[in-house]
Amino acid sequence: GENVEQHPSTLSVQEGDSAVIKCTYSDSASNYFPWYKQELGKRPQLIIDIRSNVGEKKDQRIAVTLNKTAKHFSLHITETQPEDSAVYFCAAAGGGNKLTFGTGTQLKVEL
């Protein structure tokens, strides 16, 4: 089955700096890669996703890149703000099958 690894587990940045979270996946059949943000005590919410026919996708301060050959994808957050502090999860899925999540990255944006 699919295995998703996520790094780093914790990330601390200064407000205004960029943050990068990286994930690798094992199943070459996976073709859908969403990223979720989970604030303390709340449900995970989708912030951006990418499909395997696209190499990069951007939405304001958030971007995701995908390298199918290397089986890795990354989340980039620019101009970080305190409200970006949360746990971020990457996930991979393919063929209508289960979403497999990474172990999460605790992002802390310091003033």
The Cα-based distances of 76 to 38, 51, 73 in angstroms read 16, 16, 10
Which one, 48 or 109, has the nearer CB to another protein? 48
- Cα(104)–Cα(59) distance, integer angstroms: 21
Contacts of 42 (CB under 8 A, 6+ apart): none
Question: Does residue 65 bind another protein (CB under 8 A)?
Answer: no
Q: By the 8 A CB rule, do 100 and 1 touch?
A: yes
Which one, 34 or 84, has the nearer CB to another protein? 34
Contact pattern from residue 68 through residue 97 relative to another protein, giving x for each residue in contact according to CB under 8 A and a dash for the rest: ---------------------x---xxxxx
**Token output for 38:** 């989970």
Count of residues touching another protein (by CB under 8 A): 23
Query: Which of 43, 53, 69, 83 is close enough to bind another protein by CB under 8 A?
Result: 43
> Which residues lie near another protein (CB under 8 A)?
31-32, 34, 36, 42-46, 49, 89, 93-104
